[in-house]
A and B are shown apart, each in its own frame.
Chain A
């Protein structure tokens, strides 16, 4: 008796911080823990920086560095560059930190089911599972060989428990199966609970169209800043496609496409002269985007893409090549709106450069049409997946997806038949590179298909694990206890 009351007295709850048991003693705590995972994901270490605007696009040869020797070395796939090692270590560490945060939620939530009202339990659990799969899948895509290259290669640890003991490495296919399993568990939970599924949830620009920010509970607003039901489906499509399961990939992508939830961007919004009404990023088509509207990341984006000279920029000629302006790309909305040609921006080099406009935030107090967002998954990606996945069984349908998407981007000409799948894939890749410029998705596509990375008109870096697999952080190998 005395001892137990002593124990009680000694169990001091911190006041300026929250201890785990205290946090998970209310549904509110679970909500905050989940928001915490998003905060981590939106940090510059992960999707608010490295994984959206960083080296992945450098490796995809989207930029050129006349004077920045380090970045040029990274572009040449020199993975020993200290700054690259530092960046990948940050990605790995913070990625797993976010996963650990998911695991804390998942470890506690089932025993605390009675705390929740409404659909909170399903929603939080569904999102936590989706996040866990989403982050693991991206780490797998960086730090392990592709499924196509070597499905039984040592991949990454798929961590599902909270512990200081290391989780053994899974093979690529096992890790992918784990992603699928988490996502398959998440999808029904989200389908039952996610407001975005409801027909009354309409997507649009904040404050002008749609009702994404009208819920009186902040936690239920902005479903597209979180892992929603469609993201889980889209992520499943990504994972299936990665492991060559075209049927399941197609079915999953179709769920998103058929929902018709995400409206295509209008020409008026995209070309708006009024910068407060200008859509620079196809905002409504983003299935999930990380909310990064804060001063620090805005400053970083300014340094990366907007400052004179910007850290990342391509030459105008390079952009013309990527957007195939010599062929049918001159009308491409993306080409027309996403780049501004600037003369002489770097170290005495007078080559004209094209500066990316996607992430410009209007100088205060003039506001943007939407908050600064880092795209995690786009509606258009579902079209690429569907097109690729269905080509083997229904090439006509595949071309339909391809042509539809291009039409939405202002390219009038259509492709009505292709010689073979390789040609079709080549078309898809070329368009995806345009679509995902500055969003770090195209590198994964080269890797998934195990295709050479085009460096210039005349030279491509041949596909190999050397250029596609990032070295694991030293600590991950050194401190293993199993």
Chain B
């Protein structure tokens, strides 16, 4: 073992107190070995030095350069404080040292080629009178086993020292982890192992004991995993947040992404009020604001175009680019750590993928030892959260309808008052007879999800393995929605020699997701409570009602009957929509420690992802309810799609890590090649006889007049970079990176893009003056970084002039190919310049750590669609125009409030604020604003009441645009608008639209605490947000613009204007017109929610042993427990939100 190799020569130093200057870390030790090796060159033994007022340090350097001998000394040996005059000519090393150290209370020993300097220990101590116990000096034979704290695997090769003399190894564990040492009772011994925290144990008797060592890397605060290097955090200048897999699981065992978000407030999940808790919806994520302009056509990001979605950070799984879906579907039990890289210094190695941040995920590595089985069982109960829904009951609803004028001629012009009275009484009969259906609960269920993971690992120092399997069900609260995963894998590590490591990971994932046949939740919210669910015979009703609607069109088209169809009936006709994928992932890597300082790594990764999607719409579906009679044979449809993604990556990386004296250098040089090919095919079949025979083979024909679709896209990229991390005395830090990134998506003229970063840092707490003057400050680290990184948010063929074949429309003389759009050969990545300033302040031995950050991101060359004159043949083309900036602050706080042998109380809190602003937009984009205004009131716009996106310099892309409002006139019940010139009017004019709010929060973050008492753990985490604006669409859609023929929010009845003098927020109850965006519905967005509560208990070892296991742990996690918000809105439109409770059990055998 390397450890021994280092210590054995030192053993001969003798019983002298000795301490390394450097922290005993695996990596650091490697450097030492390197130093020792290199110093073995031949040098002259005679020394000549002439210096005046020289520090000891200088003289040591002279001696080193002349003899090649290296110096070791402790912090206590202050080599800079004293100065001396030296004049030596051709003296021996011994003489020189004697001369220099004389009078400095320093002693030296020469071992091999190393000079160890020690302070001369005062005689009184060593020669103190032998205490009484010498007489009864007994030697006991202490024995026991050393095991890994987490895996419980026995640990071989653990060195044991006396605390009083760490230079002498008094014992080492054997391959079974057993040890036996001879000590005196009461001796404190220290167990050390590379990469583990040393453990001190007092030995009193010879009873066998079990020592647990804790992995150092587990303490993620200490190391930063960049995906290419693992760097000591104290020497790193980049902004990164590292979270261990266990901590993630404590916060949210079901949703990895949500779990990450609770640790870093700058990692934000876009609020998707539509999808709610749908397990099949993928989140939108931003890190430190946005760097891309949203697409001009307003198209939304859905599952299928995620790869090109905007502002998404890059995900790296075990060193290779991966998709958000892969991370979402990853077994949380397998995650070793997640690192969020944020500033340029941290992300520049990722070049053009880096501007939106990088999320580096590593999975657990197997540990050697005998076979160890780990079984995890997570059982989750989710219940729909309907607390945000307040709909009317049957009687209220009818009252509202009457007030809204549905039964008054003049307002409702459709028919005579007598007929209206009949209609009213018909419904009244239902209400009085007690029909009051609660439609909201109809499509919902309490969902029970289960995840079972079994993991087996073990092996010896040359071969380690890990085999695991998982089965997981994740049903949604909408009936029928589910996402199930089956995955399995095998990892092995093979060290044929100490210098060589082969590693292979093979992982297979089968995922199946099913969308709820119940459709959108909103259709149940809209159902009137006085409708019956079933007829007298208990059968589902299909048509619930039949409203006559005035379409305001001429002639016979003026009045039409609109059926209200029962969404529950539709849910039972046999529709289904499901998708599945099978993913095979293999990573093979080679790690060669050429010399202790030089390391070569080669990695190859292959991913094959085969996805299918099947959507069946039953012939009896509502979709065909109104279909023409001559198309009955074509009712029912089946859409099949197949998506095959093959991705391969290759990487060669050279790492150089060296410490020479006070200089420590960590260099990495890497080259990476990536190829991503997606092959998509789909077709649709039509004509099913019934919903029993749903196989596509029962289809009558292909979809009429269509052709199958297919799309193959390939993206390639090459990345070459060099990155270095240098530190002097661990005080002064410097990081620098240069990356040359090439990608096939860039234009022909801009194939390669350079990215760079540099960072400096100062560990001020290591300065003497700090130690002396500010003893309470245990850590004071200042860092400043800057750099240029990029993002590419455009599809693969954007920079090319692409011809598409008109295959379904041949001309008489053959197939034609036409140009799709202008391929801009100058198209390139968006360039983001980053600045980051950070302070890490630790007080009282790091009991309290405060970590504020300030950042500034300026993105130039935003990809925007530029309008051109149509006579060029194109209406738009893509170009890099437009600048945007994000400025923000983040503060992280951890406080170890209380600690003793039984108790440990930690408090954590964080805060983030980001301000986005568009700093420059192209003229063409300004013109776009005018077209948006026109579109707002156009009948083509199906959501005229929703605010639309505008671009204006100085405004954020999160700015809400609308007309300023003075509220509802109590006299008329009409809204009073403020025109741009300040005058008041009742008439809405889109040209008066201006910024009326900013959706970005003034602050957002989490706070919470975790408490350990003996084997109990209790943690909770709150999430908060304040200061932003929010356009409360619920008030518009469900109160003001609500169609009185359907159920509405309770406020539509309670709070609307009815008669002159009513002071209300909402317009006249009888006004059924559209409410265009106004400041009336902009509300302050303040919210606090209890995101998670976690309780766990670990069974005492003895008890666990009795049950035949090594450990047994129970955990209970509750998520999304309650929300207090300033805004009352319906949450989860298509699928409601859910509260969940997870019971976990972890057992190792």
Q: Which of B714, B746, B803, B811 meets A18, CB within 8 Å?
A: B803
Q: How many A-B residue pairs have CB under 8 A?
A: 188
Residues in B neighbouring A219, C-beta threshold 8 A: 813-814
Cα A104 to Cα B817 in complex, Å, equals 12
Q: Is the CB of B814 within 8 A of A475?
A: no
Q: Is the CB of A11 within 8 A of B744?
A: yes
Which of A90-98, A144-152, A243-251, A377-385 forms part of the interface with chain B?
A90-98
Q: Does A14 contact B (CB under 8 A)?
A: yes
Question: What's the least CB distance linking A56 to chain B, in Å?
Answer: 20
Q: Is the CB of A480 within 8 A of B869?
A: yes
Residues in B neighbouring A291, C-beta threshold 8 A: 811-813
Cα A68 to Cα B713 in complex, Å, equals 47
Residues in A neighbouring B705, C-beta threshold 8 A: 295-296
Q: Is the CB of A479 within 8 A of B924?
A: yes
Residues in A neighbouring B714, C-beta threshold 8 A: 12, 14-15
Q: Which of B751, B804, B875 meets A10, CB within 8 Å?
A: B751
Q: Is the CB of A101 within 8 A of B871?
A: no
Residues in A neighbouring B700, C-beta threshold 8 A: none
Residues in B neighbouring A3, C-beta threshold 8 A: 752
Q: Is the CB of A96 within 8 A of B797?
A: no
Binary interface encoding of chain B residues 546-571 relative to chain A, with 1 for a CB under 8 A from any of its CBs, else 0: 00000000010000000000000000
Q: Does B874 contact A (CB under 8 A)?
A: yes
Closest B residue to A226 by beta carbon equals: B813
Q: Is the CB of B718 within 8 A of A14?
A: no
Q: Does B121 contact A (CB under 8 A)?
A: no
Q: Is the CB of B924 within 8 A of A17?
A: no
Given A18-B817, A93-B870, A93-B875, A33 contacting B715 (CB threshold 8 A): no
Given A19-B802, A32-B805, A157-B871, A12 contacting B715 (CB threshold 8 A): yes
Q: Does B796 contact A (CB under 8 A)?
A: yes
Q: Does A167 contact B (CB under 8 A)?
A: yes
Given A6-B718, A15-B712, A40 contacting B874 (CB threshold 8 A): no
Given A163-B872, A473-B870, A35 contacting B800 (CB threshold 8 A): no
Residues in B neighbouring A38, C-beta threshold 8 A: 811, 813, 816
Binary interface encoding of chain A residues 68-96 relative to chain B, with 1 for a CB under 8 A from any of its CBs, else 0: 00000000000000000000010011001
Of B673, B718, B813, B874, the most chain A CB neighbours within 10 A belong to B813
Q: Does B819 contact A (CB under 8 A)?
A: yes
Cα A166 to Cα B924 in complex, Å, equals 14
Question: What's the least CB distance linking B671 to chain A, in Å?
Answer: 10
Cα A389 to Cα B871 in complex, Å, equals 33
Q: Does A408 contact B (CB under 8 A)?
A: no
Of B715, B796, B868, the most chain A CB neighbours within 10 A belong to B868
Q: Is the CB of A96 within 8 A of B871?
A: yes
Q: Is the CB of B812 within 8 A of A221?
A: yes
Q: Is the CB of B555 within 8 A of A18?
A: no
Interface residue range, chain A: 35 or more
Q: Does A16 contact B (CB under 8 A)?
A: yes
Closest B residue to A295 by beta carbon equals: B705
Question: What's the least CB distance linking B805 to chain A, in Å?
Answer: 7
Given A10-B743, A39-B806, A164-B822, A222 contacting B751 (CB threshold 8 A): no
Q: Does A405 contact B (CB under 8 A)?
A: no
Question: What's the least CB distance linking B686 to chain A, in Å?
Answer: 16
Closest B residue to A30 by beta carbon equals: B817
Q: Is the CB of B871 within 8 A of A20?
A: no
Q: Which of A426-479 contact B (CB under 8 A)?
A: 473, 475-476, 478-479
Q: Is the CB of A6 within 8 A of B797?
A: no
Q: Does B801 contact A (CB under 8 A)?
A: yes
Cα A480 to Cα B751 in complex, Å, equals 30
Q: Which of B530-560 contact A (CB under 8 A)?
A: 555
Q: How many residues of B contact A (CB 8 A)?
A: 55
Q: Does A273 contact B (CB under 8 A)?
A: no
Q: Is the CB of A23 within 8 A of B874?
A: no
Q: Which of B802, B811, B824, B868 meets A39, CB within 8 Å?
A: B811
Q: Does B234 contact A (CB under 8 A)?
A: no
Q: Does B687 contact A (CB under 8 A)?
A: no
Q: Which of B712, B811, B873, B924 meets A101, CB within 8 Å?
A: B873
Cα A480 to Cα B875 in complex, Å, equals 12
Q: Does B602 contact A (CB under 8 A)?
A: no
Cα A221 to Cα B817 in complex, Å, equals 18
Given A166-B868, A478-B927, A100 contacting B819 (CB threshold 8 A): yes
Q: Is the CB of B817 within 8 A of A36?
A: yes
Q: Is the CB of A10 within 8 A of B870?
A: no
Q: Does A208 contact B (CB under 8 A)?
A: no
Q: Does B127 contact A (CB under 8 A)?
A: no
Given A6-B718, A14-B802, A17-B802, A32 contacting B816 (CB threshold 8 A): yes
Q: Is the CB of A92 within 8 A of B813?
A: no
Q: Does A309 contact B (CB under 8 A)?
A: no
Residues in A neighbouring B796, C-beta threshold 8 A: 12, 14
Q: Does A165 contact B (CB under 8 A)?
A: yes
Q: Which of A283-328 contact B (CB under 8 A)?
A: 291, 293-296
Q: Is the CB of A96 within 8 A of B873?
A: yes
Residues in A neighbouring B814, C-beta threshold 8 A: 31-32, 35, 218-219
Cα A10 to Cα B750 in complex, Å, equals 11
Binary interface encoding of chain A residues 42-65 relative to chain B, with 1 for a CB under 8 A from any of its CBs, else 0: 100000000000000000000000
Q: Does B818 contact A (CB under 8 A)?
A: yes
Q: Which of B717, B802, B803, B867 meets A479, CB within 8 Å?
A: B867
Q: Does A131 contact B (CB under 8 A)?
A: no
Q: Which of B1004-1053 contact A (CB under 8 A)?
A: none
Residues in A neighbouring B854, C-beta threshold 8 A: none
Cα A31 to Cα B877 in complex, Å, equals 26
Binary interface encoding of chain A residues 175-199 relative to chain B, with 1 for a CB under 8 A from any of its CBs, else 0: 0000000000000000000000000
Residues in B neighbouring A99, C-beta threshold 8 A: 873
Cα A165 to Cα B866 in complex, Å, equals 11
Of B801, B806, B872, the most chain A CB neighbours within 10 A belong to B872
Q: Is the CB of A36 within 8 A of B803?
A: yes
Closest B residue to A167 by beta carbon equals: B871
Q: Does B710 contact A (CB under 8 A)?
A: yes
Question: What's the least CB distance linking B299 to chain A, in Å?
Answer: 20
Q: Is the CB of A9 within 8 A of B718?
A: yes
Q: Which of B763-816 contact A (CB under 8 A)?
A: 796-797, 800-806, 809, 811-816
Q: Which of A6, A19, A164, A371 meets B812, CB within 8 Å?
A: A371
Residues in B neighbouring A371, C-beta threshold 8 A: 812
Cα A165 to Cα B927 in complex, Å, equals 17
Q: Is the CB of A12 within 8 A of B744?
A: yes
Closest B residue to A478 by beta carbon equals: B927
Residues in A neighbouring B712, C-beta threshold 8 A: 14-16
Closest B residue to A14 by beta carbon equals: B797
Residues in A neighbouring B802, C-beta threshold 8 A: 14, 17-20
Q: Does B319 contact A (CB under 8 A)?
A: no
Residues in B neighbouring A31, C-beta threshold 8 A: 814
Of B743, B814, B867, the most chain A CB neighbours within 10 A belong to B814
Residues in A neighbouring B867, C-beta threshold 8 A: 475, 478-479
Q: Does B716 contact A (CB under 8 A)?
A: yes
Residues in A neighbouring B819, C-beta threshold 8 A: 20, 36, 97, 100-101, 104
Q: Does A365 contact B (CB under 8 A)?
A: no
Q: Does B75 contact A (CB under 8 A)?
A: no
Q: Is the CB of A479 within 8 A of B868?
A: yes
Residues in B neighbouring A101, C-beta threshold 8 A: 818-819, 873
Given A12-B714, A15-B714, A39 contacting B872 (CB threshold 8 A): no
Question: What's the least CB distance linking B545 to chain A, in Å?
Answer: 32
Residues in A neighbouring B710, C-beta threshold 8 A: 16
Q: Is the CB of A36 within 8 A of B871?
A: no
Jot down 27 A-B pairs with beta carbons below 8 A, ordered by A: A7-B742, A10-B718, A10-B744, A12-B716, A14-B797, A16-B712, A17-B803, A18-B802, A18-B804, A19-B797, A32-B805, A33-B816, A89-B870, A96-B871, A97-B819, A100-B819, A101-B819, A163-B872, A164-B824, A164-B868, A219-B814, A221-B813, A226-B813, A291-B811, A291-B812, A347-B555, A478-B867
Q: A9-B673, A35-B815, A159-B872 are in contact. List 4 more A-B contacts (CB 8 A).
A: A18-B802, A20-B801, A36-B818, A480-B869
